[in-house]
Amino acid sequence: MDGRDDSSGRGATGGGVRVDLRGRRALVTGGARGLGASICRALAGAGASVLVADVRKELARELCGELGRSGGEARFVELDVRDAAAVAEVFRGLEAADRPLDILVNNAAVDVSKPIEHLTAEEVTRVVATNLLGPMYLCLETYRRMVARGGGHIVNILSTASNRTWTEAGPYASAKTGLRAFTHTLFKEAQRDCPGIGVTGIIAGGMETPFIMERFPDADTSMLQSPDVVADTVLYALSVPSTSTVSELVVVPRKEPSWP
């Protein structure tokens, strides 16, 4: 079942959101650092068993150790979301271990900030494969299993680029726009196929994470938000009683220039 709690006495988590995820299993892609790490901390703090899926082995293992020392439960799985066969193998392993997922958070993303005239085919392929095809591969493996079990929750991390775009953002905006459309479709199919499944897209504005700071080291951090705020937004989506569902949330810095 998903992480939504019908009871009035929800367990405490970090930030201002309260939800009890004890007994739930979650997988977070790109979970080793930045927003992904914040989401893993939030889920573990709420009691979920977290699978940190990433290609950054050392960072992921360090995070799992941190979460374990804080009383949480976390494991690392090396996963390149662009590899559909590898994604399928992870789910076969979970099935064999009788550890089905209750929560999937598609967070992994990359970007190449270049004018279109200077982009290479390899760069475009890497961005679209990571930001659009990867989440779709994860959803394909997760959704049918959630339907069979009668519940679960899928959260896709979107971007303000899924609503509008700017220069040097062609592949990124295209992929995030596609993922938003896919998320809306999945939401409608879940309404039809299984009322116990929640599907939420979270449109997140600029965050003070390596994703931004490594590409734009001179970025004005006063224009950015903490990834912990977005992680709390994920918890909110999971906290809604099963009689309701949240299809999309928008969380942006107050000075966000790219919304709406």
User: Active-site residues: which are they?
Assistant: 172
C-alpha distances in Å from residue 136, one per residue of 83, 105, 142, 176, 252: 11, 12, 10, 12, 24
C-beta atoms surrounding 148 within 10 Å: 10
In this structure, what are the phi and psi dihedrals at residue 164, rounded to the nearest 5 degrees? -150, 170
**What is the spatial distance between Cα 201 and Cα 181, in angstroms, rounded to a whole number?**
10
Phi-psi region of 47 (alpha: psi -120 to 50; beta: other; left: phi over 0): left
Residue 257, preceding bond cis, omega within 30 degrees? Answer: no
User: Do the beta carbons of residue 67 and residue 74 sit within 8 Å?
Assistant: yes
C-beta atoms surrounding 167 within 10 Å: 9
